[in-house]
């Protein structure tokens, strides 16, 4: 089991540690609900150093990324990032990822921890373009400073003007005396903030600096459990739950990152789905009665026929109701449709709604 550079810090803070994607990770500190509200109302600091980081560079870098990802890498300018996915040859998703354009012919790619090796092998397989690939996953750390007060906290530690970095843009600068930090206006919480990437040896220094800088604003350390409830309230997909090797971006509602004005893996399959429609879709739902939906719970119709399954579910701290994401068969995936979630052999009525939920 791997550990991030901040493992000892989490233990000293009394975090509950659990195995996640091959890493010993902090799942919570003070408690999920408290951490969740801190991020929605003030700020939270997450160690997400388990994520994978690749550098792809050289004259063939853009062509390689253009072919292995669904989004249009051509549209990226230096200092911009885009959400995308790696399609497989069977019309499924190898992973979702963020592609950063560092400079001409140099890209930085961030992938999910559970897929580092799989993604590396997949991209390498298509590297007939002569691009230079570097797996920096074991050498880099990633902190997410999230919440409405995250920007003012981080601004105390850097001369880079954070207000000049729009959403899905980034800069490379100095934070608390550490140089060459990638400062990215991205996140997985839907509450705003930044993600910063840097070398492992600076992890404790930057963690302490951010916690100290945010004391007056009420920043708290936050774990993976709150990260999950936060992303779910915003309807963000989690790989392994809501998307995987068998789901297409069109089914998953990721058509907006699937650009057909270029060639890429499984393009024809997705184009056909877009044109003809799909037989199932990933939808948001809210329970109309008490209950907590969970991953893999069956979705049924009024007659009790199975019409899908829950991929992610929780009790929303903000709305105080059960909500989640589920793949639902046609025609039940229409907005406003009444469906039922089987929670412990009880069929609880739910309504198909548009995410985000909050």
Instruction: Tell me the binding residues for substrate.
Output: 195
Burial class (CB in 10 A: 0-12, 13-18, 19+), 296: exposed
Alpha-carbon distance of 34 to 230, in angstroms, equals: 12
Alpha-carbon distance of 316 to 325, in angstroms, equals: 12
50 Cβ contact list (under 8 Å, min separation 6): 2, 4, 20, 21, 22, 23, 25, 113
Contact 68, 123 (CB under 8 A): yes
φ and ψ of 80, to 5 deg: -115, 155
Angstrom CA distances, 339 to 143, 284, 299, 329, 356, stand at 39, 11, 7, 11, 19
Structure tokens at 176: 């608390």
Binding site, by residue number, is 195
**H helix or E strand, kind and range, residue 11:** helix 7-12
């Amino acid at each position: 089991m791997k550990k991030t550079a901040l493992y000892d810090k989490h233990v000293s803070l009394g975090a509950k540690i659990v195995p996640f994607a091959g890493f010993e990770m902090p799942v919570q500190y003070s408690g999920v609900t408290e951490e969740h509200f801190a991020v929605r109302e003030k700020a939270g600091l997450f160690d997400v150093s388990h994520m994978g980081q690749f550098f792809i560079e050289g004259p063939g870098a853009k062509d390689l990324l253009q072919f292995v990802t669904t989004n249009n890498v051509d549209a990226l300018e230096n200092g911009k990032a885009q959400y995308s996915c790696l399609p497989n040859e069977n019309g499924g998703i190898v992973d979702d990822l963020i592609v950063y354009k560092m400079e001409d012919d140099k890209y930085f790619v961030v992938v999910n921890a559970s897929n580092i090796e799989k993604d590396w092998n997949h991209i390498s397989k298509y590297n007939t373009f002569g691009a230079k690939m570097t797996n920096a996953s074991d050498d880099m750390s990633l902190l997410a400073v999230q919440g409405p007060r995250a920007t003012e906290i981080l601004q105390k530690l850097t001369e880079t003007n954070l207000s000049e970095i729009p959403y899905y843009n980034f800069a490379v600068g100095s934070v608390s005396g550490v140089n060459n930090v990638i400062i990215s206006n991205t996140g997985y919480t839907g509450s705003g903030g930044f993600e910063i990437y840097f070398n492992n040896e600076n992890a404790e220094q930057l963690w302490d600096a951010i916690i100290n800088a945010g004391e007056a604003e009420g920043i708290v350390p936050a774990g993976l459990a709150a990260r999950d409830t936060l992303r779910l309230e915003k309807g963000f997909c989690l790989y392994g739950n809501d998307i995987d090797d068998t789901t297409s971006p069109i089914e998953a509602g990721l058509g907006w990152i699937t650009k057909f004005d270029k060639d890429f893996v499984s393009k024809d399959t997705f184009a056909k789905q877009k044109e003809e429609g799909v037989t199932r879709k990933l939808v948001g739902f809210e329970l109309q009665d008490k209950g907590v939906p969970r991953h893999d719970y069956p979705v049924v119709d009024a007659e009790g026929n199975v019409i899908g399954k829950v991929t992610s579910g929780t009790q929303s701290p903000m709305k105080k109701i059960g909500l989640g994401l589920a793949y639902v068969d046609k025609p039940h995936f229409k907005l406003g449709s009444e469906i039922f979630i089987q929670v412990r052999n009880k069929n609880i009525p739910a309504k198909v709604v548009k995410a985000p939920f909050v």
